[in-house]
Amino acid sequence: MGELALETRSNLEKIIEKELIPYVRKVDSEAFYAKNYLKKLGEAGLFSSAGKSQRERMNEELFVVEETAKVCMTTAFCVWCHLAGLTYLRSTDNSVLKNKLLPLMEAGEILGATGLSNPMKYYAGLEDLRLHARQTKGGYIFSGVLPAVSNLCQGHWFGVIARTENGKEIMAMIPFGVEGLITKERTEFFAANGSATYSCQFNDIFIPSEWVLSEKAADFAVQIRPAFVIYQIPIGFGVIGASIESMEKVRQRQNGCNQFLQKQPEELRSALENLKQRLQTQLSYEKPDWKEVAGIRLETAYLTLDAVQAAMLHNGSAGYLRNCDPARRLREAYFFANLTPTIKHLEKVQGDRNRVPDQQSQSI
Ligand SMILES: Cc1cc2nc3c(=O)[nH]c(=O)nc-3n(C[C@H](O)[C@H](O)[C@H](O)COP(=O)(O)OP(=O)(O)OC[C@H]3O[C@@H](n4cnc5c(N)ncnc54)[C@H](O)[C@@H]3O)c2cc1C
């Protein structure tokens, strides 16, 4: 991921060593949420904008996601949730949120999250908006249900979008402990249970104007969507990298019999490098091309599935043990494929790209 200061790499390595590696198994099998790891990243300045160009900051944050995903994809997803929250605050014109909440989130004192899957699917024509808003004195009243919001805990803030009766779409940041929010922890998943995921029921919640990120949420979503998706891509890169490494470790087993398998580490590595280069090209532009970003995210999702599957074949029965790393990565990778924008959503974006203009929808 571009050129990074040695100090950044070494700080991150130490935090991973101390705050993540010892907990990976617990994250996977006991739904343990590695909150302390995220906080330490913030304390070390790894989410800070100070003294960095936008490209430097993004490269550093992408590196954090990738290195985290090499060790634990579930926790890398939590890092992404925080980065999505940061993206909303960095992009808003609301000076209260920008001046008060953003510095606390960049320092890791407060962690961020995102409830934007449903709006992203709504803007892509996949489903209707689940949250409704009613204008009232000094703000809005939100109601409705979001089935899954991750990286949540007391004191965390998350971004949501709701539509008013007259069709205005409001995006706001909301604290997890806000009055009227009924939450239920969800740990019934095939993997990623350590992602602190909750269903969130909004029972007429008062949202003061100070929490509103934008009253033109559709435009705001278009503005933040490249960063929203770009930050997801290294989740896949990390899992692919770790899968390649696990294949290389067992190369000599059974007299090198793995060389006869159809998928080899070299092929995966070359595809990974190609995707990394394409991402760097997009990062070099002031405004990345949305369709290309969506294409890179789609190809990364497919390559991630290829890589975890190949690692299962290379590792044989040792990889089939319930708690081993290849099996964990295989389960986690299916969440990457089904994280909004999901593979089917991204395929629709690519499909819309290939249609004649008057057939194109407003897919995002
Ligand atoms: C572990 C986890 C964490 C997530 N964290 C977040 C988050 O932080 N923020 C966020 O906004 N979104 C989050 N999501 C949602 C995620 O981003 C995707 O939107 C979701 O995984 C899949 O979306 P989908 O497009 O397949 O549609 P779905 O939402 O799965 O719906 C597709 C269709 O399946 C139906 N359906 C859904 N569940 C079931 C079921 N159990 N049985 C039968 N039918 C069903 C729906 O009614 C719908 O018709 C999370 C999901 C998971 C699994």
pLDDT at residue number 324 = 97
Outline which parts of the chain fall under CATH 2.40.110.10. Answer: 113-216
- Residues 201 and 32: their CA atoms lie apart, in Å, by 23
Report the DSSP pairing between strands 181-185 and 139-149.
unpaired
Question: Tell me, what's the pLDDT at 141?
Answer: 98
Q: Using CB atoms within 10 A of its CB, is residue 2 exposed (0-12), middle (13-18) or buried (19+)?
A: middle
58 in contact with ligand 1, CB cutoff 6 A: no
Q: Are 139 and 184 in contact (CB under 8 A)?
A: no
pLDDT tens figures, 128-137? 999 999 999 9
297-319 pLDDT, tens per residue? Answer: 999 999 999 999 999 999 999 99
Any atom of ligand 1 within 6 Å of the Cβ of 189: yes
* Model pLDDT for residues 246-302, shown as the tens digit of each residue: 999 999 999 999 999 999 999 999 999 999 999 999 999 999 999 999 999 999 999
Instruction: Work out the percent of the chain whose per-residue pLDDT is above 90.
Output: 93
CA distances from 317 to 4, 21, 78, 312, 314 (A): 38, 23, 30, 8, 9
pLDDT at 360: 43
How remote is the CA of residue 320 from the centroid of ligand 1, in Å? Answer: 27
Buried b (16+ CB within 10 A) or exposed e, 147-159: eebbbbeeebbbb
> For all residues of the chain together, what is the average pLDDT?
95
CA-CA distances (angstroms) from residue 223 to 97, 189, 346? 17, 32, 18
The fold of the 220-359 domain, in CATH, is Butyryl-CoA Dehydrogenase, subunit A; domain 3 (1.20.140)
Query: Counting atoms of ligand 1 from 1, which one is nearest the CA of 81?
Result: 8
Query: What is the homologous superfamily of the domain 6-111 according to CATH?
Result: Acyl-CoA dehydrogenase/oxidase, N-terminal domain (1.10.540.10)
How many angstroms separate the CA atoms of 34 and 24, rounded? 9
Query: Do β-strands 131-136 and 112-114 pair in parallel, antiparallel, or remain unpaired?
Result: unpaired
CB of 74 within 6 A of ligand 1: the answer is no
Question: What string of DSSP letters covers 282-318?
Answer: HHTSSS--HHHHHHHHHHHHHHHHHHHHHHHHHHGGG
Distance of CA 148 from the midpoint of ligand 1 (Å)? 7
Bigger pLDDT: 217 or 7?
217
Q: Are the CB atoms for 104 and 262 separated by under 8 Å? A: no
What amino acid occupies position 120? Answer: M
Output the pTM of the full model: 0.96
| SS3 call for 114 | strand
Say which DSSP state 60 is in. H
Q: How far is the CA of 86 from the centre of ligand 1 (A)?
A: 23
Q: Which atom of ligand 1 sits closest to the CA of residue 151?
A: 8
Strands 169-175 and 181-185: unpaired
Output DSSP code: residue 205. E
340 lines ligand 1 (CB under 6 A): yes
Instruction: List, for residues 170-185, the tens digit of each pLDDT value.
Output: 999 999 999 999 999 9
Q: Please tell me if the CB atom of residue 346 comes closer than 6 angstroms to any atom of ligand 1.
A: no
- Greater pLDDT, 220 or 354: 220
| All residues at 6 or more sequence positions from 51 whose CB lies less than 8 Å from its CB, including other chains | none
Pocket test for ligand 1, best of 121, 126, 338, 349 (most atoms within 8 A of CB): 338
Tell me how far the alpha carbon of residue 337 lies from the centroid of ligand 1, in angstroms. 11
Atom of ligand 1 nearest to the CA of 197: 3
Q: Is 232 in the pocket of ligand 1 (CB under 6 A)?
A: no
Helix (H) or strand (E) holding 268: helix 265-283
Where do the CATH 1.20.140.10 domains begin and end in the chain?
Answer: 220-359
339 CB near ligand 1 (under 6 Å): yes
- The whole-number average pLDDT for the span 28-33 is 98
Q: Residue 27 burial (CB < 10 Å; 0-12/13-18/19+)? A: buried
Q: Is the CB of 150 under 6 A from ligand 1?
A: yes
Are the beta carbons of 210 and 192 closer than 8 angstroms?
no
Give the pLDDT confidence score for residue 352 in this predicted structure: 76
Q: How far apart are CA 132 and CA 164, in angstroms?
A: 6
pLDDT tens readout for residues 184-198: 999 999 999 999 999
| d(CA 175, ligand 1 centre) in Å | 22
For the segment 41-70, what is each residue's pLDDT rounded down to a tens digit? 999 999 999 999 999 999 999 999 999 999
- CATH entry, 113-216, from 3.30.70.100, 2.60.40.1190, 1.20.20.10, 2.40.110.10: 2.40.110.10
Ligand 1 atom closest to Cα of residue 118: 11
pLDDT tier at 359 (50, 70, 90 boundaries)? very low
Residue 63 pairs in a beta bridge with none
Give the side-chain half-sphere CA count within 13 A for 245.
Answer: 10
Residue 59 near residue 1, CB atoms below 8 Å: yes
pLDDT of residue 354: 67
User: How many Å apart are CA 292 and CA 353, to the nearest integer?
Assistant: 10
Preceding omega of 341 cis (within 30 degrees of 0): yes
* Residues 155-181, mean pLDDT to the nearest whole number: 97
CB-based contacts of 171, cutoff 8 Å, min separation 6:
88, 119, 159, 160, 161, 212, 213, 214, 217, 220, 221
Q: Is the CB of 68 under 6 A from ligand 1?
A: no
pLDDT value at residue 6: 86
Average pLDDT over residues 26-40: 98
